């Protein structure tokens, strides 16, 4: 007789949610005085996105938010993490807020609260106002100060009703995909600029945290969402370990070093000294960045596998971050990325929940006592309706079961993980991949914009309702 399976049951206080971002879902890019962000410009530049896709309409959440909140309520979600469009609130990236822009988010928050769903606000999810990019973008120090002003405006407008706040989402992508490899907006390929951008994003986080604290009620929670990586090596050879150190510094230490510990890794500064002298780091910056946090958000999709590059290689390219002749890893051209073994999602990312467990335990050690949230985790598959209009996605159910089991295991091992936000609530504009990749637990017909919960949504709803993971065969 087989051994009985112990149910995977989460604490009763565990927060079950889903995530989205403004440019990926809102549409209405010219409503209420909104001006272009760098993603409007980038996506309308020929050759930058699959099929020339853009977010002009996206999934029209701006007009359909009540329908979308009703869907969240139907699924029983505890929380919804969304981002605010900076260009909608502050069209030039400076000056007073446009109230009609803030009013959209006020209505959204009120709708969420009326359905018992906790709103979680991310202030920046990659959509810098084009006006600020024209002035130099994130490589310019002034952008960090503009962000702090913007953070205060949004905090003043929503702070009485929103408890959970995140300053930045995945600053690694902003800095290195946007300014080094160029596969993300604004599409620049300048390694020195990317490192300056990383520092000014850190500074923006610190200044923004301080600005939020000046206007939010004391019980509110301020965090940041990092796409920290689990870095593994093909061997224990010293050269491979040194390669992993370089990538770990660029993927993780460049952000959590200043944010959590008040310093950049010395190994990072040494590895990049031929690119920049780091004179962008001014006296007092590290103290400004190293603000106390109430929580840390972690986004996880797949681990990285690296080695020292051979003499006949061109350095890191096959890293899962899009195709470019330019590397998003400044100072690491002597590192080679390898495809990790195992099944893959449609993105080509290996399915490996052990990497999530490893990441959670790392940050339990890196920041003892700091509550953790999974602010993004999910998978893209080619989900299509069957003849009856139903959308079955058993692969995603298996993916979610595996990764939520890893979260549960980390909690059992002492990690203070308070919640999980699935990426994503619904299919949407997937950046340079356009509408080709579907991450949603709700299917969107892009011709009609009809929403259809997939079988994974029903599975997740049952997990939310019971606090226990259903079997992978359900849904």
283 included as an active-site residue: no
Catalytic annotation, pick one of 26, 376, 395, 430: 376
Q: What are the tokens at 322?
A: 């899009």
Examine the residue annotation and report whether 358 is marked as an active-site residue of this protein: no
Vertex 161: Cα angle to 62 and 119 (nearest 5): 50
Which residues, listed in sequence order, are joined to residue 307 by a DSSP beta bridge?
336
DSSP-derived 3-state class of residue 187: coil
Cis peptide before 197 (omega within 30 of 0): no
Report the candidate in 413, 411, 403, 401 with the shortest Cα–Cα distance to residue 463.
Answer: 401
State the number of CA atoms in the 13 A half-sphere of 452 facing the CB. 19
* Catalytic residue (choose from 170, 395, 430, 462): 170
Instruction: Specify which residues 225 forms β-bridges with.
Output: 169, 297
Dihedral sign (CA 44, 50, 56, 62): negative
At residue 382, φ and ψ (nearest 5 deg) are -85, 75
Q: Tens digits of per-residue pLDDT, 350-359?
A: 999 999 999 9
Query: So what's the pLDDT on residue 322?
Result: 85
Task: Give the closest residue to 197 by CA, choosing from 281, 261, 114.
Answer: 281
Q: How many of the other CB atoms lie within 10 Å of CB of 326?
A: 16
Please report the pLDDT score of residue 1 as a whole number.
46
What pLDDT score does 42 carry? 98
Please, which residues have CB within 8 angstroms of residue 199's CB and are 6 or more apart in sequence? Answer: 278, 280, 281, 285
Q: What confidence score (pLDDT) does residue 313 get? A: 63
Backbone conformation region of residue 279, classed left if phi is above 0, alpha if psi is from -120 to 50, else beta: alpha
pTM over 0.95: yes
How far is 204 from 141, CA to CA, in rounded Å? 9
Q: What is the pLDDT of residue 475?
A: 41
pLDDT digits over 361-405, tens only?
999 999 999 999 999 999 999 999 999 999 999 999 999 999 999
Residues 6+ away with beta carbon under 8 Å from 42: 48, 49, 184, 185, 186, 187
One digit per residue, the tens of pLDDT, for the chain of length 475 reads: 445 567 899 999 999 999 999 999 999 999 999 999 999 999 999 999 999 999 999 999 999 999 999 999 999 999 999 999 999 999 999 999 999 999 999 999 999 999 999 999 999 999 999 999 999 999 999 999 999 999 999 999 999 999 999 999 999 999 999 999 999 999 999 999 999 999 999 999 999 999 999 999 999 999 999 999 999 999 999 999 999 999 999 999 999 999 999 999 999 999 999 999 999 999 999 999 999 999 999 999 999 999 999 766 654 456 888 888 999 999 999 999 999 999 999 999 999 999 999 999 999 999 999 999 999 999 999 999 999 999 999 999 999 999 999 999 999 999 999 999 999 999 999 999 999 999 999 999 999 999 999 999 999 999 999 999 999 864 4
Rounded Cα gap, residues 81 and 234, in angstroms? 36
3-state secondary structure of 328: coil
């Amino acid at each position: 007789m087989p051994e009985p399976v112990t149910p995977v049951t989460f604490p009763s206080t565990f927060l079950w949610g889903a995530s989205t971002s403004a440019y990926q879902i809102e549409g209405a890019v010219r409503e209420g005085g909104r001006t272009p962000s760098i993603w409007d410009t980038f996506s309308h530049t020929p050759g930058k996105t699959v099929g020339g896709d853009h977010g002009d309409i996206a999934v029209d959440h701006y007009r359909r938010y009540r329908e979308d909140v009703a869907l969240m309520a139907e699924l029983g979600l505890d929380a919804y993490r969304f981002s605010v469009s900076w260009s909608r609130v502050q069209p030039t990236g400076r000056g007073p807020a446009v109230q009609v822009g803030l009013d959209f988010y006020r209505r959204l928050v009120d709708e969420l609260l009326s359905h018992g769903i906790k709103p979680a606000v991310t202030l920046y999810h990659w959509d810098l106002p084009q006006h600020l990019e024209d002035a130099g973008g994130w490589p310019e120090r002034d952008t960090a100060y503009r962000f702090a002003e913007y953070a205060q405006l949004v905090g003043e407008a929503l702070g009485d009703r929103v408890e959970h706040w995140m300053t930045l989402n995945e600053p690694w992508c902003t800095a290195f995909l946007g300014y080094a490899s160029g596969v993300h907006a604004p599409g620049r390929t300048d390694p020195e600029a990317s490192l300056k951008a990383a520092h000014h994003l850190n500074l923006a986080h610190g200044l923004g945290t301080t600005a939020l604290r000046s206007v939010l009620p004391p019980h509110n929670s301020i965090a940041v969402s990092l796409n920290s990586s689990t870095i593994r090596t093909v061997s224990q050879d010293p050269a491979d370990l040194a390669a992993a150190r370089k990538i770990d510094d660029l993927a993780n230490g460049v952000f959590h070093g200043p944010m959590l510990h008040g310093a950049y890794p010395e190994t990072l500064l040494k590895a990049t000294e031929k690119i920049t002298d780091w004179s962008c780091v001014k006296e007092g910056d590290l103290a400004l960045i190293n603000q106390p946090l109430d929580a840390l958000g972690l986004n996880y999709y797949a681990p990285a596998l690296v080695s020292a590059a051979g003499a006949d290689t061109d350095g890191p390219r096959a890293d899962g971050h899009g195709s470019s002749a330019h590397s998003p890893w400044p100072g690491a051209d002597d590192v080679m990325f390898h495809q990790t073994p195992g099944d893959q999602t449609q993105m080509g990312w290996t399915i490996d929940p052990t990497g999530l467990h490893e990441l959670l335990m790392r940050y339990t050690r890196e920041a003892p006592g700091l509550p953790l949230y999974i602010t993004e985790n999910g998978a893209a598959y080619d989900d299509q309706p069957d003849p009856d209009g139903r959308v079955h996605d058993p692969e995603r159910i298996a993916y979610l079961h595996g990764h939520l089991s890893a979260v549960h295991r980390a909690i059992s091992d002492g990690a203070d993980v308070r919640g999980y936000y699935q990426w994503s609530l619904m299919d949407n504009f997937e950046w340079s991949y356009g509408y080709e990749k579907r991450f949603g637990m709700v299917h969107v017909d892009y011709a009609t914009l009809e929403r259809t919960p997939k079988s994974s949504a029903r599975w997740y709803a049952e997990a939310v309702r019971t606090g226990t993971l259903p079997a992978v065969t359900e849904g």
